[in-house]
Amino acid sequence: MNGSTQVQTKRVTKLCNSKEIVTINGMYPGPVIYAQEDDRVIVRVTNLSPHNASIHWHGVRQRLSCWFDGPSYITQCPIQSGQTFTYEFTLVQQKGTFFWHAHVSWLRATVYGALIVYPKPTVPYPFPYPFEEHIIILGEYWLRDVLQIEQAVLASGGGPPIADSYTINGHPGPNYNCSANDVYKIDVVPGKTYLLRLINAGMNTENFFGIAGHKLTIVEADAEYTKPFTTDKVMLGPGGTVNVLVTANRPISRYSMAVGPYMSARNVPFQNITSVAYFQYLGATPNSVSLPAMLPSFNDNLAVKTVMDGLRGLNTSSVPKVIDENLFVTIGLNVQKCNRKNPNQTCQGPNGGIFAASMNNISFIRPNASLLEAYYRDNTGYFTDDFPGAPLKLYDFVNGAPNNIPNDTNAKNGTRVFVLEYGTRVQLILQDTGTVSTENHPIHLHGYSFYVVGYGSGNYNPDIANFNLVDPPYMNTIGVPVGGWAAIRFTADNPGAWFMHCHLEIHLSWGLSVVFIVKNGQGPLETLPHPPADYPRC
């Protein structure tokens, strides 16, 4: 697959207002990229916008192609205005629903699109072939300029404003102002089965999705097949993709496809108006009332756990049974002490502090150059390799902070990485913390998929934790349970610098991330090649 794209601004009118947004090729959502397993993908990106840009290919493992992974200041400098960079990678043994999105500042709010990778022609789906396939991308829309929002939030030290609407394929739906006709619709034939490729490209909210009166059968999660599991709703955090089969087996009518919030944190404002699209049977009257979808309440943790419990991997022959490196990483928010000149304006976090977020109490500071290039060229001064493999302080992670906010929750700032030898079999325990509030965090690992071998509530206790080493799901983004933990396993067999971060954009802005450096192995098939000739400069 070979193509050229342009990052450019476009004026759109939504929610009674017009504004300029950044797009790819003037499309919102952006163009769908179709490919086939093992295809070589070449995309030439020219930045005609006034902003820095880069594209991340979410879920693509980038085998020996870390230079093209896309997160700004991690694997590349951003593509500056007027510059061009060509992304080139092979979809090695990968197929399913992926997506691409901007990975610099908050451009991801409008710069995203689907990447659909089909099996080879002779390889069938492991489920009944659908009558049709449809892509459903969940998003969030702001009336204000998203880049200005990010700058204002970081300057304030407080929390972000809520989105003005949720969207389905860019459409808010009829529940919002001036949006009665800004609605996405699927026309369905009674009796037929449809494959819906669900993608959550949202920014700061996790979402429930359901279709009024219809069951959803999950057959894929994060571009890996699962054993079929039927439910009436799914929860997708930002960065998550799920394929579901839906059979049009209800009376002829118009049914709501609804997207609403899942907000597990305490005292956090969020958009509570549901976005609706139509699942409309052929033969239904055009002006028929749509039957409403019943979504769980915004804080229904059990609904999330029930779906997670039902996910079982289909192809799980390579689950690491022996572990070489056992890591324990706490995730969550922090409050830093106010040391700014105008505290009334710039220290609007809890108790007059400044919001931050961290892993093992270290807030990641992105360097001002490509971390991958600094590592590759052995340039010192851009990062240190002392990210701790366990928390520096042990305490009751879920139920209590070490002391009172903001005294002891100050995260250390730094560009710290964790180095893994090639071939290391890694177990990583991700532990939610209640320092500010417990919360479900969608944690995404670049360059790898991982087996989710366990999860639970409370503080992780290896003596009582239940692990599934038989058929765990193979994912690239895991919602770490609110007030709980998740255990993932992977083999570090892809050299490069790989970002791991919370996919809630505000948490990434606050530093909830880390970089794993995986060293080269032996020979060319285990060694990161040279950077490309058109590699962007900072």
> Could you report the per-residue pLDDT of 48-77, keeping only the tens digit for each?
999 999 999 999 999 999 999 999 999 999
> Could you report the per-residue pLDDT of 201-252, keeping only the tens digit for each?
999 999 999 999 999 999 999 999 999 999 999 999 999 999 999 999 999 9
The per-residue DSSP string of 294-325 comes to -PPPTT-HHHHHHHHHH--BS--TT---S-SE
Please check whether residue 163 is in contact with residue 204, taking contact to mean a CB–CB distance below 8 angstroms. yes
Say how many C-beta atoms besides its own lie within 10 A of residue 213's C-beta. 17
Dist CA 68 CA 224 (whole Å): 22
> Could you report the per-residue pLDDT of 431-458, keeping only the tens digit for each?
999 988 999 999 999 999 999 999 999 9
> For the whole prediction, is pTM greater than 0.85?
yes
Say how many C-beta atoms besides its own lie within 10 A of residue 152's C-beta. 14
Q: E strands within 319-475?
A: 325-336, 354-359, 362-364, 412-414, 417-420, 424-432, 441-445, 450-457, 474-475
> Could you report the per-residue pLDDT of 508-529, keeping only the tens digit for each?
999 999 999 999 999 999 999 9
Residues of the chain with pLDDT under 50: 403, 406
